[in-house]
Structure formats: C-alpha cells, structure tokens
C-alpha cells in the first residue's frame, strides 16, 4: 500500500513538473514571439519611390528650325522615340502629328522641366526643308521649337536603371484588376493572410498530388520579396505571414498594392532583371505603363506566377495561353464585357523589345559619370535630371555603322576572326563649335566588354600626328630661313638622325623615296620622311606644346619619332584636336553634359567647356585645305568612292606592324574619328583606308546633308596658281597648273624656272598683275 502511494505521489509530482516546463516553455515562446513581433513592427517598412528617385539621363533636345531637312534629320524616327504618333487629320492633342508635302503639323508635348506647354505648331516646308516655324493658333512665325529630350536611362546608386516609381493612381485600372484577379481575388477583404485561399490551395494540391496552387496573398508575396530569402521552409512561411500582418497594420491597402506592383519581379531579358510594372512595360512593349492595352496588362499580370516561363520573348505561346486565362478570369468577375474580352483575346503577342543595355549609349554614360565625378568630386544626388549632349539618332547610326563595318571586315578577311580576341573598334562624333559629344561607341558589345576604347584605350596615332608637325611649321614663320607653305619642296630622300643608342633612319610605308615633294603631296600621300625632316627643323617641344593646346593630355615622348605618332593617345583626344581645325583653330574641350538640374530646379553644372585659340585661323585653314586634298586625291580617296560628295577634310593612319587603323575626318559642323584594332595589339594587316575609313564613310553618308557647306575662308589667305613640279608661280608655258592657298605674305613670288616665262608672264610681272 505504501509503495503504491509513493508511486502515485511521484507520478503526480512529475506531472506537475512537466506542466511547469510546458508552461514556462510556452511563456518563453510567447515572449520570443512578442519580441519578434516588436522587431518586425520596428523594421518592416514599405519602400517609397520618392525617398531615393533615380538620376535620370536624357539625350539632347532636338531643335526644329528653318533649313532642317525632314528626311535628312530623320524627324519621324525622333518623333516616334518621344511617343508621337501620326494622325490623318489636323493634330488635336499632345503627341499627334501629320506630314504633308506642304507642312508638318505637330502638337508638341508638355515639358514642365523646361516650362514648355504643349502647343500645336506648323513647320512649313519647301523642297522637304523647314522654311518657317508657325504657331497654328496664332498663325504667326515663332522661334525654333525644341522637342523634349528623350530619356536615355537612369542611375540608382551603382545600378544602371531607371525604375521610376509609378503611383497606383497612374496605373491603368485594367492592370490592377488583372493582377488582383490572378494573384489575390480577396485582397481588399483579408488582413494580409487569407484562410480561404490557404484552404483552397491545400485542397487543390491534395487532389493533384503535387503543388499546383499557392495560398500566399499579395501582402505575403511583397513581404517575401522585400524581407526574406527564397528558401522554402515552414519557419519562413510563418515569418512571412507575421511580416504581412505587420504591413497590413502599418499601411493602407493601396499603399501595399502600389509597392507590390513596383517591386514585383517580371522576368529576365538576357543580362537585365526586370522589376516593377513600369520597367516591364518599357522592356517588353516599349511604352509607359499608362499606355498599356488591356491585352498587354493581362499578359504582365499573368507573368507574375512564372516570369520567365510566361515571358513573351522566350515563350510567346505559353505567354498567350496565360494571358487568355487572365482575360477569362476578368470576364468571370464582370470586369470585362464580352466584346472587350473577345477583342483582347484576338490580339497577337506583339513585343517591342528594348535593346539589351540598361541604358542607351552605355559607353557614353560611363564616360559621363566619370567626367562628372572628376569635376564635382562626388556622385549626383538622387532625383537629378541630366540633359546630355548625345544625339540619340546619331548614336544609333554610329553603333550600327561600327558593327556593320567590323562584320564586313571579318567577312572579307577571315584571318581577322582567327585572332585570340575579337576585332574591335570605336567611334566618336563631336560638334566642334560646342565640344558636344554627339555619339560615342566604345566597342562592339558593352555586355561583353565595358572597356571604352574611345576614351580609356591609348594607342599610337601614327600619321594622325603629321598635321600637328606641319601646323607648327606654318606658324613658325620661318623654317630654315624661309616660310614653310603647302607648296614648299621637302626632300623625300634617305635620312639618318642620331638617337639614344644608334642612328634612326625613318622610312615611308612603302619603303620608297620620291625625291623633292611639296608639303601637299607629302601629306596627301602620308609620307614619313618629309614629316620627320620638318619636325627636326622646328623642334619637338613646339609640337608637344601645340598638342597640349589642342587638348591632348596623354604623355608625349620628346623625341623625333613623335612626328610619326609613336606616343599613345585616345580617340577622343585626337578627334577633338582635329575638331579645332574645323573651327578655324578654336579648340573646345569635349563634353557629354548640357545641364544638370536638381529636383528643386537648381542648376548643378557650370556648363562652360574650356575654349581657346589653339592655332591661328589662317594656319588652320591651310591645314584644312591640305586635308581636303587627302580625301580628294590622297590616301583617303576611297571616301569619295564610298559616296561622300560634300566637302570634308581628314587623315588616315596605319601604325607600324599595322596594329592600329585610324581615320579622323571633319566638316565645319562635325568631327568624327574611327579606330579599328585588337585589344591585345595583334597585327591587323590592314591600313586605315581599308579598315577605319569605310566605317567612317558609312556613318557620315547617313548623317551629312547633301548640301553641307564648304569651310569658310578666314582673312589673311591668298590663292595662287602654281606649277605642281616646282611649287613656283605657273606660267603660260607650264603644261599644268594647280591652285594653292597661302598665308598672306608667304606666297611664292618667283615664276616657274623649269618651263620659263612667256611674254604675257613678263608683262604681268612687270606691272604686278
């Protein structure tokens, strides 16, 4: 009896002890849960688009002005990029336009950033060119009208993306209805967790024997995306549910839905992850979310379940099936009428994919950021709007011309594809008057290589340096006791000069010598020996000083081989140096930025590029005349054969062992440089005329109007007829003569000694006709 009592007492004591353990464990669990709930209350917060808006980058606004060619300026392409659309009648609202033979009627968009209100304007046309800009309401001439600058892309911290926050009020109702019908029908009835949806999902999964349906609400999905990893465990589900409850307690339903639609993952386009319906609308359909059609809105809503599985780019068939299912659900919930449902279901999947770069002109954007950081010393603050100098049409044409040209070279010369690295190239286009960088292509494919060969690469410019040598001589006034002119004779004969360890004997590219040649012939034929002779006469230091005035900051070796371009420079440097010749010797430093405006309207950019007279107008014009001869008769004559009929000046270059091929050419309004080569400096085995010039000509042919003006003649320039063999004044006995330009006071005064003077020549000389 005693033993039994003892056992019962012990059992009761052990039960009491167990209950205590359970009680204390429960209390501890509740305490931990309370602490976690308190932690969630403190840390769970919705992202707000206005807290850190992206830095927005815009291309240059395009000016509609008299003289502009509608076809040549690609006006319709520019309008399409800005969301304008053609109409049959007179434009009645912003974004509409009509083109006839007599005029372009255009209803300009509002541009609040520049305090421009949308208004209808008429561009009167004569022979396809704008003759007058008129206000349609007033019927009176008005100043040139700038189109709003097109968006290039954006920056958010280190990420190159726009991802502009779209308010819920700006989203189309069809999109909101489609998402709710697909992802969370009872969104506005539950508190973040929907027991009905959980029960429905459990029953569907049990019936199928696998997971076919989820029970997560929109709030739970948002909590998972914002605060947790993608691991699938019961504990994470509990955390997710608690976080959803916290969100529902802290925020309104519309705030949660707005965050969800801006943060939801909507697929991958190659290297780019797409988040938010705003970005998805741009990437898949090339439009803003406000402009989505019913069919497009349903497609995006359907993608949420499996973004890449239902991608209209990767799986258009499955994307259509999923879209049609969403449309059916909208019809079942009376969100659509029967005709609306049928019309949307008939729509084909039509994707307008954005080019696979996070921003347009990525090499240009990289350069812009580095320039801005160097100038300001710190990153741009959030919300800044940067209007760049980039012409987006010219940029597209430059990218296409470079890729097309490199592909054609590889097809014509298969050995180029056998190198260890791919053939590369770069192109830069500048406005020499303002220094504006209009186009910049730093390589074939930014996704594979972000190295900007237009700026970061330093390569030997070769013969591109020869014009600098002759410019120094023209400005020197006297070389060897007499002025050097374009008609001066220089010995193209064997030459030996002392060097550091042995004599240096420069030679021409073809290893031939031609005897006495004029400066014009020496430059047109890109002869090395005459250039070295002139450099030896004027000295290396003045050449370096001129290069610095022309904006070349790369290290330059102070030896005579500098005349042949042995010191490395960038494509941007040498192109902007040639640009100074286009502007009568005025150098303007290249810039990628027009304006930088803070969110409060304050200007954050001085916008004043460096500007100086680097070369006299007369010397610059003489060099331009010589470089026009390079294109008309010299090493760049292929430009004419490629269809370049307008006045251009330029210079080819091929470095030793053909590592690099260059061509830089210019007009009064443009300076354009092209480089072709390998990143590892493998032999190209092609000249500048063969590799770089065709790319340059292809690009220029598409952007230069056929009536481009010639270079203006500055004061202090005189023209004389010469005998091409002697460089002396031509006489009536000379079998041929050429016109040559001179800086006034340097023109020859002696008549041709080889062919002699005729009677009339003696009369003219006697009376100084």
Distance CA 360, CA 395 (A): 9
Give the DSSP H or E segment for 42: helix 2-43
Q: State how far the alpha carbon of 311 is from the alpha carbons of 214, 264, 274, 300, 301, in Å.
A: 20, 14, 11, 9, 11
Distance of CA 315 to the CA centre of its chain: 30
Q: How far apart are the first and last CA of the chain?
A: 153
Closest CA to 727 of 750, 761, 756: 750
Distance CA 298, CA 325 (A): 9
Distance CA 30, CA 38 (A): 12
Per-residue tokens: 356? 């696979």
Say if residues 734 and 755 touch (Cβ distance below 8 Å). yes
Closest CA to 365 of 151, 87, 675: 151
Distance CA 691, CA 386 (A): 35
- β 96-99/85-86 pair status: parallel
Write the DSSP assignment of 110-172 as a string of letters: PBGGGTB---EEEEEEETTEEEEEEETTTTEE---EEPPPPEEEEEBTTB--------GGGS-
Per-residue tokens: 310? 């239902």
Catalytic residue among 96, 183, 573, 747: 183
| Residue 463 bears catalytic tag | yes
DSSP state of 286: S
Write the DSSP assignment of 64-126 as a string of letters: E-TT-BTTTTTHHHHHHHTT-EE-SS---STTEEEE-SSEEEEEPPPBGGGTB---EEEEEEE
Distance of CA 199 to the CA centre of its chain: 53
Catalytic residue among 463, 526, 576, 625: 463
Catalytic residues, by residue number, are 183, 463
């Amino acid at each position: 009896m005693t033993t039994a009592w003892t056992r019962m007492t012990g059992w009761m004591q052990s039960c009491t002890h167990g209950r205590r353990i359970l009680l204390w464990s429960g209390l501890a669990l509740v305490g931990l849960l309370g602490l976690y709930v308190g932690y969630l209350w403190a840390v769970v917060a919705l992202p707000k688009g206005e807290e850190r808006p992206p830095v927005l980058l815009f291309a240059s606004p395009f000016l509609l002005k008299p003289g502009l060619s509608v076809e040549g300026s690609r006006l319709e392409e520019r309008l399409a990029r800005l969301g304008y659309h053609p109409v049959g009648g007179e434009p009645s609202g912003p974004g509409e336009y009509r083109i006839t033979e007599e005029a372009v009627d255009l209803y300009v968009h509002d541009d609040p950033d520049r305090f421009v209100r949308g208004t209808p304007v008429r561009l009167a046309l004569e022979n396809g060119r704008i003759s007058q800009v008129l206000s349609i309401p007033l019927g009176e001439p008005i100043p040139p009208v700038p189109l709003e600058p097109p968006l290039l892309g954006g920056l958010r911290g280190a990420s190159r993306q726009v991802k502009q926050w779209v308010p819920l009020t700006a989203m189309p109702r069809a999109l909101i209805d489609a998402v709710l019908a697909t992802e969370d029908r009872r969104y506005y009835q539950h508190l973040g967790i929907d027991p009905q949806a959980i029960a429905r999902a459990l029953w569907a999964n049990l019936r199928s024997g696998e997971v076919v349906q989820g029970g997560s609400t929109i709030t739970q999905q948002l909590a998972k995306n914002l605060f947790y990893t993608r691991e699938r465990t019961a504990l994470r589900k509990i955390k997710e549910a608690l976080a959803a409850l916290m969100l529902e307690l802290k925020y309104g339903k519309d705030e949660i839905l707005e965050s969800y639609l801006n943060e939801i993952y909507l697929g991958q386009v190659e290297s780019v992850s797409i988040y938010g319906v705003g970005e998805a609308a741009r990437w898949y359909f090339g439009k803003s979310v406000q402009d989505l059609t019913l069919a497009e809105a349903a497609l995006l809503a359907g993608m949420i379940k499996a973004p890449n599985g239902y991608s209209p780019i990767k799986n258009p068939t499955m994307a259509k099936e999923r879209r049609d299912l969403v449309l059916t659900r909208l019809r079942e919930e009376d969100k659509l009428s029967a005709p609306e449902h049928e019309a949307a279901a008939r729509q084909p999947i039509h994707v307008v994919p954005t080019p696979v770069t996070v921003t347009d002109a990525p090499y240009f954007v990289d350069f812009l950021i580095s320039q801005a950081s160097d100038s300001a010393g710190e990153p741009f603050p959030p919300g800044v709007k940067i209007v760049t100098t980039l012409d987006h049409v010219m940029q597209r044409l430059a990218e296409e011309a470079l890729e097309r040209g490199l592909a054609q070279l590889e097809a014509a010369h298969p050995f180029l594809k056998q190198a260890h690295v791919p053939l590369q190239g770069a192109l830069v286009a500048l406005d020499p008057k303002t220094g504006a960088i209009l186009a910049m292509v730093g390589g074939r494919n930014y996704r594979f290589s972000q190295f900007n060969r237009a700026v970061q690469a330093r390569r030997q410019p070769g013969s591109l340096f020869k014009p600098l040598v002759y410019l120094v001589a023209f400005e020197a006034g006297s070389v060897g006791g007499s002025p050097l002119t374009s008609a001066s004779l220089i010995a193209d004969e064997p030459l030996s000069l002392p060097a550091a360890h042995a004599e240096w004997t420069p030679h021409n590219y073809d290893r031939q010598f031609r005897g006495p040649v004029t400066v014009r012939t020496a430059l047109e034929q890109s002869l090395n020996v005459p250039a070295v002779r002139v450099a030896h006469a004027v000295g290396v230091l003045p050449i370096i000083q001129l290069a610095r005035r022309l904006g070349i900051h790369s290290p330059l070796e102070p030896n005579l081989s500098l005349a042949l371009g042995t010191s490395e420079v960038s494509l941007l440097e040498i192109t902007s140096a040639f640009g100074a010749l286009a502007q009568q010797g005025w150098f303007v430093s290249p810039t990628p930025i027009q304006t930088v405006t803070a969110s409060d309207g304050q200007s954050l950019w001085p916008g004043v590029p460096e500007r100086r007279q680097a070369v006299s107008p007369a010397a610059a014009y003489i060099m331009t005349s010589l470089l026009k001869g390079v294109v008309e008769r010299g090493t760049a004559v292929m430009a004419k054969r490629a269809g370049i009929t307008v006045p251009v000046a330029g210079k080819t270059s091929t470095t030793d062992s053909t590592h690099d091929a260059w061509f830089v050419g210019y007009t009064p309004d443009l300076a354009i440089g092209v480089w072709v080569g390998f990143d590892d400096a493998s032999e190209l085995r092609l000249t500048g005329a063969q590799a770089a010039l065709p790319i340059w000509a292809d690009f220029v042919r598409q952007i230069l109007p056929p009536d481009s003006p010639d270079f203006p003649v500055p004061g202090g320039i005189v023209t004389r007829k010469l005998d091409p063999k002697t460089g002396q004044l031509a006489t009536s006995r000379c079998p041929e003569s050429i016109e040559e330009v001179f800086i006034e006071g340097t023109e020859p005064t002696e008549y041709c000694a080889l062919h002699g003077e005729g009677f009339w020549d003696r009369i003219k000389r006697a009376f100084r006709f």
